[in-house]
């Protein structure tokens, strides 16, 4: 019996290090969204992006969905072109930004309401 190969869906993992960076950035984006909603609810932080600020006050799920979709789409486009230096720099830049933002959220959590 001859078995047909299963079709491949999505992008192949060409560069495992860049792929890990993309996944880490997406996970940090999700935590940023959840932490932002919690901090805003407690009154200890504000959303810095005016578009996202209007979404978060309108509908938390819409805010989360748009934030995740935009971030994931941008990162996946960069990953698709990760053979180019500029795309790899873009992925690393986004990863660094989210690492900083997650550090900020962690500082708020550790400091309590003092920040």
Query: What residue ranges do the domains of the chain occupy?
Result: 16-42+52-110
Nearest-angstrom CA–CA distance, 65 and 52: 11
Q: Compute the C-alpha angle 25/104/40, nearest 5°.
A: 100
Query: Using the 8-state DSSP alphabet, how is residue 44 labeled?
Result: S
Q: What is the pTM of this model?
A: 0.82
Question: What are the tens digits of pLDDT across the range 3-15?
Answer: 655 555 565 667 8
For residue 30, is pLDDT > 90? yes
């Amino acid at each position: 019996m001859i078995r047909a190969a299963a079709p491949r869906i999505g992008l192949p993992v060409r560069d495992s290090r860049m792929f890990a960076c993309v996944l880490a950035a997406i996970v940090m984006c999700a935590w940023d969204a959840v932490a932002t909603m919690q901090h805003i609810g407690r009154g200890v932080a504000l959303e810095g992006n005016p578009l996202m600020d209007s979404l978060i006050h309108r509908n938390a799920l819409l805010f989360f969905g748009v934030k995740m979709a935009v971030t994931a789409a941008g990162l996946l486009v960069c990953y698709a072109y990760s053979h180019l230096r500029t795309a790899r720099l873009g992925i690393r830049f986004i990863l660094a930004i989210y690492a900083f933002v997650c550090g900020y959220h962690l500082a708020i959590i550790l400091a309590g309401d003092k920040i």
